[in-house]
Structure 1
C-alpha cells in the first residue's frame, strides 16, 4: 500500500481522509500538538511539523510516494524574506522532499482561481495566462511555479485551482447578519464556487487521473454574481438581503480584503475536470449546495434573532 502525506490539515483534508483510508497508508503533517489525537483517532499517522519552521520537516524526506499539498501560503512575510510574493511554505516543503533517497511519485496541489486575476466576467479555461491582482494571488502563482519546476524532475504534479469553497458550515451567515454591503446589479461581479465535499472528490480523482504539470479549474457549473449568491444564502436562512451599493460607495465601506474579492470577475470553465478527471459533481450548482445546507444540522435554522 502506497504512503500518502497530507500537508495542510484543515477542513478539506478532514473531508478527504475517509476517501483515502483503505487505499493508502495516510500520514498527516500537523502543526498543532492538540490535533495529533484527532488525526490518530481518524486513522492517519500524524507527524508534528510546521512549514514555517524548515528544521521541523526532516522526517518527511522520502516518507511518502504521494503528497497532497493543501497548505496555503503564509499570510505574513516571514522575518528576513525580501518581498511578499514568494510562497516560502511550498519552498521549504519541496526542499525537504528533495532530501529524500527518492522523490515522491505524485503531488496534488490545491491552488486558487485567484491566479487569473480580474477577467472582466470572461469565461476562463486553464489555457488562460495567470495575471494575479493581489499579493496572496502572487504567492499562489509562485507556489505553482515551484511545483511545476519540481515536476520536471519526474514527479507528476497536478494543480487544482479552487474558487470560493463552501459547505453547510462555510457560508457567509455572519456577513449577512452584519449587513455588509454587496455591489448593485450593474456593477456586480461573477463569482465561482465549489462545495468542500466536491473538492475532496476532485482531489481523489486527481490522484488517479491527474496529468503531469496540468492545471484544473476545480469549480462547479454555476454562473452567478456575488450579490445574487448573498441573496441566495439570505433567502434560504431567513436573513435580510444586504444593501446593494455602487462601486465607489462600496469601496469606501468595505475592508481592503473584502473589496479585493469584489474587484475581480470571471466565469470558470470546468470541462477539463469532467473529461480528464472523470468527476461527477455531487453539487453541480451552488444553488444545490446552499439548499442542502439549509436542511443540514450543521448550521442554524433561525438566524434572525
Structure 2
C-alpha cells in the first residue's frame, strides 16, 4: 500500500517518519525541513493542481481549512487534484465539532454542534468527505482530535512571558493527546481493517488545561503562571483563547482504545510532559 500524506507539519512529518519511505509521498505548499521522502509541492488554495498517485494508495489529510473561507476549498481542491481514487481517506478533524457540552462525557454518537467558525469549517469538511467518499467508493475514517501536545508543543515559550491561566477552582475539564499516540492512531487508521468511521482521539485524562500548564512548570522549572478569575480572562484574553475557555466536554475515547490503538503510551499526561521536555533538552526537576 502507498500513502499520500497531505501536510508536512507537526503531525504529518512524524507519521511519515514511521512508515516505509518507499511507500510515502508528502504533499504540501512548503517544506521547511530536509525531507527524506518523495514530495509534491502544490498550492491547495489554487484549483489547478494535479497530484500523481500510485495505486493502491490511502490518504492522510492533516491540512487545516483556510481561515478566510466558510467551506474548506483546500480539501475540495485536493480531492479534485487526485488522478485516481484512494482506497481509504483518513481526515484529521477536531473535537471542537461537538461544541460546548458543559463538561459532559461525549462519545462519537453525539451530534455535532460547532460554536466557532473554526469548528464549523471542520464540520463542513467532514460532510463534504462523507459525500465524496460515498460517491467514489472510498473508505472514510475521521479522527476528531483533542489538543495535541509533545516536544515543542508544551507552551513553554508562553509560560515564560507572564502567561495567565484560569484559577483551578473555575477551570473546566480538558482533553489532550500526545503526538506519539496521535501518530500511532493515524498509522492504524491508514492500515487497520474493519474500522468505524469516526474516532475521538484523547488520552482519557480530563484534567484541566490549568493543571496541564502547572505540570509543565513543575517539571521544567519555569515559574508557575498567575491564576486569574474567568471575569479577568474575559477582559484580557484574545478571542481565540476565550473560545476554547467557553466550551467544555470530556471526550469518551473507548472506541479508540478498543478498535484503533493497540496501546496508549501516555495515558498519564505527566509522563508525556516529562518525555517531551527531555526531548527539548530541558533539565527535569
- TM tier, shorter chain? over 0.9
Residue 25 of structure 1 is aligned with which of 12, 17, 23? Answer: 23
Alignment of 1:91 with 2:87, yes or no, is no
- Check if 1:254 corresponds to 2:246: no
**Alignment partner for residue 173 of structure 2, among 159, 170, 190?**
190
- Is the contact between residue 217 and residue 269 of structure 1 (CA under 8 Å) also seen in structure 2? yes
Report how many residues are paired. 284
Structure 2 SS opposite 1:129: coil
Equivalent in 179, 188, 206 of residue 189 of structure 2: 206
What is aligned with 1:270? 253
Offset, 1:212 = 6.6
2 CA distance for matches of 1:210 and 1:233?
A: 37
SS at match of 1:12: helix
Aligned counterpart, 2:38: 45
Q: Counterparts of 1:32-111 in structure 2 under 5 Å?
A: 32=30, 35=33, 38-39=34-35, 42=36, 44-55=37-48, 57-60=49-52, 65-75=57-67, 77=68, 84-97=69-82, 100=83, 102-111=84-93
Residues 252 and 211 of structure 1: CA distance in aligned 2, closer, same or farther (over 3 Å): farther
Q: Does the residue aligned with 2:96 lie in a helix, a strand or coil?
A: helix
Tell me: CA distance 1:129–1:211, structure 2 relative to 1, closer, same or farther (3 Å).
farther
- What is residue 121 of structure 2 aligned with on the other side? 139
Contact persistence 1:155–1:212 (CA under 8 A) = no
C-alpha separation between the residues in 1 aligned to 2:32 and 2:157?
27
Change (3 A) 1:292 1:250: same
* Worse overlay, 134-143 or 238-247: 238-247
User: Secondary structure in 2 aligned to 1:32?
Assistant: coil
> What is the TM-score of this pair, normalised by structure 1?
0.87
Partner in structure 2 of residue 80 of structure 1: none
CA contact (8 A) 2:2 2:56 kept: yes
Following superposition, the deviation at residue 174 of structure 1 comes to 1.7
1:281 equivalent in structure 2: 264
Distance 1:96 1:281 in 2: 35
* Residue segments in structure 1 that go unaligned for 5+ positions in a row: 78-83
Residues 182 and 244 of structure 1 are in contact (CA less than 8 Å); yes or no, is this contact kept in structure 2?
Answer: yes
Give the Cα separation in 1 of the matches to 2:128 and 2:99: 19
Name the structure 2 match of 1:122.
Answer: 104
- Tell me how far apart the structure 2 counterparts of residues 297 and 62 of structure 1 sit (CA, whole Å): 36
